[in-house]
């Protein structure tokens, strides 16, 4: 969380998504970030700035399942360096991966 992260800021940011499958929410206790980190084998860490792709029909029960694909913007040593994407690399990855998922699933 950053100092400017508030419930209102999260609600404002979430209005920019036109797809009901995309969720943006406020999590001051980092519960989602910790659970996602656990699903990525980052135990004891918090996943933020992480972009997750799940197979159609894959449900979250008590804990999120491992994603089918993902990327992140974390420079921490515990995060998978092969999935680190920044700036144009992140844009290219998200564009290509989203197009692939939309066209094949």
Q: Does the structure show a pLDDT above 70 at 47? A: yes
Q: Does the structure show a pLDDT above 80 at 33? A: yes
Confidence class for position 15, pLDDT limits 50, 70, 90: confident
Q: What is the pTM of this model?
A: 0.81
| Secondary structure (H, E, C), the chain | CCCCCCHHHHHHHHCCCCCCCCCCCCCCCCHHHHHHHHHCCCCCCCCCCEEEECCCCCCCCCCCCCCCEEEECCCCCCCCHHHECCHHHHHHHHHHHHHHHHHHC
Q: Does the structure show a pLDDT above 90 at 12? A: no
């Amino acid at each position: 969380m950053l100092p400017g992260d508030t419930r209102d800021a999260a609600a404002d940011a979430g209005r920019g998504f036109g797809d009901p499958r995309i969720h943006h929410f406020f999590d001051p206790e980092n519960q989602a970030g910790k659970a996602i980190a656990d699903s990525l084998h980052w135990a004891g860490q918090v996943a933020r700035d992480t972009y997750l792709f799940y197979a159609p029909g894959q449900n979250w029960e008590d804990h999120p399942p491992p994603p089918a694909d993902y990327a992140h913007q974390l420079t921490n040593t515990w995060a998978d360096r092969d999935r680190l994407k920044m700036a144009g690399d992140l844009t290219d990855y998200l564009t290509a991966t989203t197009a692939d998922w939309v066209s094949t699933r």
